[in-house]
């Protein structure tokens, strides 16, 4: 009489039953019992587009193939679970029915669930616990089909059903898309590649499934981040695999020694840049740098893909929540936490809470410029708290540090205001190296104003400036001004098209002052004001007085 074995859902979803059969550990021709409860669970997971469901379904198909080939005798037993039994599943009702089916058929229960196994032993059922089973077949990451599309210049691979494979090649800020094969990816091939990825990730102790949602799964296969999407989330099956090209240190970046010293003292750092600019690579280098300084460094990531040293523990969402992760992380008391990436309002609040708790923070933020990264905090935290939360902004462009800004709180009359009674708390944003004031942030009525004083251009903006004269002429356009003396005031009036714009007021070739036109396109100066006296003096000399748009 052949050996008789009953499978629960665990050995179907992890595929261990296939390995047991192929390795001959169940005998020459075992009799395998699959409960309809297991089939229903696999079908349900597949219907809601869970990758584990597709994987489990392939395991069931493989068992049927073994049966047809005469390797096993396959029996489907029991009834499909009722609605009431499904509702009781969290309490173990369905597991109890699987054990009952195994006992009724005098079969050994094969499970990878220790609780299921222990309860089965208590009930007098013979149990084979295979959770700690070591697989005999050796599969390396390089042997996976997804790896055949990569070469040393590949940043990411993009596979979609019905299209040839494409690869993004080059380096951050200098990449191009290239077709990497003429073969059209059909349904069979893309499903085989996806199944192979999921199978390897589930068996490899150094890989894991990061996110599994309806129609999408995100895995970390060693250093490869892979996203598999399906309808209804995407319009077709798609696989995107992203591989880090470089693992850099701070010495690989063009950092002024003053910036290096700043990084040693800074405690609230934002690393910003556009997607693919190299933010995460720089953040990983910064994490490793702090770790080498004998600091306790942790990371908080929705997807754990930062390439950091082994002594840096990477945390992700705890029970689906970064807030719960933050509660635990605070108890660990890190010196620095790398937060990749700060995106939602909750993320910004967690970042602020950590900083105000005294933890050094490095936040990774998507933005098109350095100041945009700061503006994402506006409205989420009080303006007066901003310099206590963020003290340094690093803008990454084309894989290198482009801009470094520093924040400081002061009380002053904002730039362009003339009345000293309008003094208020102002957050100054200065270029860290030149100390040049670039932006002021302050409350104006119910609004928060981010006023550009003399912003420096990023590398790409400087390139555009050199090659786009029209844009330069627009920002440096000369405009006519009317000077009106009214009681004890001097009113400078421009065309209403230039309302609310910043201008430099010139007399001949000499600048008198910089200011901001009002909504009425006017600047009002009190007569005792030094600038007002200077303009009156130039008027008496018949000097040409005009404005230059900033």
Radius of gyration from C-alpha coordinates of the chain: 32
- The sheet carrying 510-516 orders its strands as 478-480, 545-549, 502-507, 510-516
Mean pLDDT by groups of 10 residues along the chain of 550 residues: 82 87 88 92 84 86 93 91 69 84 92 89 91 51 87 91 92 81 89 85 82 86 90 90 82 86 87 86 92 92 83 87 87 90 88 89 91 88 90 90 92 84 91 90 86 72 44 65 81 84 87 85 84 86 86
**Which of 240, 225, 255 is CA-nearest to residue 185?**
240
What would the 3-class secondary structure string for 133-144 be? CCCCCCCCHHHC
SS3 content of the chain, % helix, strand, coil (to 5): 35, 30, 35
Tokens 């379904």, located at residue: 57
**Which of 326, 71, 79, 276 is CA-nearest to residue 168?**
276
Report the alpha-carbon distance of residue 456 to residue 461 in Å, rounded: 9
In 3-state terms, what secondary structure has residue 67? helix
Q: Are residues 123 and 171 in the same domain?
A: no
Q: What is the CATH number of the domain that holds 79?
A: 3.40.50.1010
Q: Are residues 415 and 327 in the same domain?
A: yes
Tell whether 134 is covered by a domain: no
Tell whether 386 is covered by a domain: yes
What is the count of structural domains for the chain?
Answer: 4
Q: Are residues 289 and 343 in the same domain?
A: yes
Pair 35, 98: CB distance under 8 Å? yes
Q: Are residues 271 and 391 in the same domain?
A: yes
pLDDT of res. 136: 40
Tell whether 172 is covered by a domain: yes
In 3-state terms, what secondary structure has residue 340? strand
Tokens 């009799």, located at residue: 31
Q: Are residues 234 and 270 in the same domain?
A: no
Tell whether 72 is covered by a domain: yes
Q: Which one of 394, 427, 458 terminates a domain?
A: 458
Q: What is the CATH number of the domain that holds 330?
A: 3.40.50.300
What are the distances in angstroms from CA 201 to CA 14, 82, 205, 345? Answer: 10, 33, 8, 32
Helix or strand holding residue 196 (H, E): helix 187-203
pLDDT of res. 459: 58
Q: Are residues 338 and 449 in the same domain?
A: yes
> pTM, whole model, 2 decimals?
0.64
Q: Are residues 258 and 238 in the same domain?
A: no
**Which of 264, 404, 291, 286 is CA-nearest to residue 340?**
286
Query: Structure tokens of 254?
Result: 């063009």
Q: Which residues of 100-125 are buried (b: 16+ CB within 10 A; e: fewer)?
A: ebbbebebbbbbbbeebbebbeeeeb
Q: Are residues 297 and 440 in the same domain?
A: yes
Tokens 């506006």, located at residue: 378
Q: Are residues 96 and 157 in the same domain?
A: no
Q: Are residues 77 and 168 in the same domain?
A: no
Enclosing domain of residue 344: 250-458
Q: Are residues 281 and 415 in the same domain?
A: yes
pLDDT of res. 138: 54
CA distance from start to end of the chain? 91
Q: What is the CATH number of the domain that holds 146?
A: 3.30.450.90
Give strand ranges (E) for 124-195: 127-129, 154-160, 166-171, 174-179
pLDDT of res. 472: 37
Pair 209, 196: CB distance under 8 Å? no
Q: Are residues 384 and 405 in the same domain?
A: yes
Tell whether 427 is covered by a domain: yes
Query: Structure tokens of 174?
Result: 């200098």
How confident is the model over 167-194, as pLDDT tens digits? 998 876 678 899 998 889 998 899 889 8
Peptide bond into 232 cis (omega under 30): yes
């Amino acid at each position: 009489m052949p050996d008789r074995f009953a499978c629960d859902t665990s050995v179907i979803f992890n595929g261990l039953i296939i390995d047991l059969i192929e390795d001959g550990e169940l005998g020459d021709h075992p009799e395998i019992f699959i409960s309809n409860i297991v089939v229903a669970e696999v079908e349900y997971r597949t219907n809601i587009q869970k990758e584990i469901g597709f994987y489990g379904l392939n395991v069931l198909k493989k068992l049927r193939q073994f049966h047809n080939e005469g390797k096993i005798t396959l029996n489907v037993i029991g009834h499909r679970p009722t609605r009431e039994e499904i509702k009781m599943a969290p309490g173990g009702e369905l597991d109890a029915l699987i054990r009952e089916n195994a006992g009724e058929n005098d079969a050994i229960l094969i499970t990878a669930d220790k609780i299921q196994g222990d309860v089965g032993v208590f009930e007098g059922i013979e149990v084979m616990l295979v959770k700690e089973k070591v697989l005999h077949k050796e599969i390396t990451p390089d042997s996976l089909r997804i790896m055949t599309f990569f070469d040393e210049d590949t940043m990411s691979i993009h596979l979609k059903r019905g299209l040839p494979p494409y690869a993004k090649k080059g380096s951050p800020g200098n990449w191009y898309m290239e077709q990497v094969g003429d073969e059209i990816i059909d349904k069979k091939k893309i499903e085989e590649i996806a199944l192979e990825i999921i199978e390897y990730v589930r068996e490899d102790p150094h890989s894991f499934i990061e996110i599994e949602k309806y129609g999408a799964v995100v895995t970390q296969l060693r250093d490869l981040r892979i996203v598999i999407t399906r309808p209804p989330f995407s319009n077709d099956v798609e696989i995107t695999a992203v591989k880090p090209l470089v693992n850099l240190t701070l010495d690989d970046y063009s950092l002024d020694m003053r910036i290096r010293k700043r990084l040693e003292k800074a405690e609230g750092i934002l690393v910003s840049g556009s997607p693919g600019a190299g933010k995460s690579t720089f953040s990983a280098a910064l994490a490793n740098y702090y770790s080498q300084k004998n600091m306790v460094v942790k990371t908080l990531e929705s997807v754990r893909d930062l390439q950091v040293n082994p002594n840096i523990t990477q945390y992700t969402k705890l029970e689906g929540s970064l807030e719960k992760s933050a509660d635990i992380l605070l108890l660990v008391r890190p010196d620095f936490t790398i937060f990749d990436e700060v995106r939602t309002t909750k993320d910004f609040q967690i970042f602020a809470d950590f900083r105000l708790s005294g933890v050094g923070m490095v936040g990774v933020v998507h933005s098109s410029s350095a100041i945009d990264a700061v503006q994402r905090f506006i409205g989420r935290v009080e303006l007066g708290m901003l310099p206590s939360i963020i003290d340094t902004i690093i803008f990454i462009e084309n894989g290198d540090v482009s801009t470094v800004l520093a924040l400081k709180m002061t009380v002053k009359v904002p730039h362009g205001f003339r009345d000293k009674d309008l003094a208020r708390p102002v957050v100054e944003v200065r270029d860290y190296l030149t100390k040049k004031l670039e932006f002021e942030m302050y409350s104006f009525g119910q609004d928060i104003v981010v006023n550009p004083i003399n912003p420096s251009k990023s590398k790409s903006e400087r390139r555009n400036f050199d090659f786009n004269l029209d844009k330069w002429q627009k920002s440096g356009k000369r405009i006519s001004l009317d000077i009106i003396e009214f009681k004890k005031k001097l009113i400078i009036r421009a065309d209403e098209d230039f309302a609310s714009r910043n201008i430099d007021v010139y007399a001949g070739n000499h600048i008198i002052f910089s200011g901001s036109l009002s909504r009425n396109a006017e600047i009002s100066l009190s007569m005792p004001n030094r600038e007002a006296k200077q303009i009156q003096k130039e008027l008496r000399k018949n000097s040409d007085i005009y404005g230059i748009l900033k």
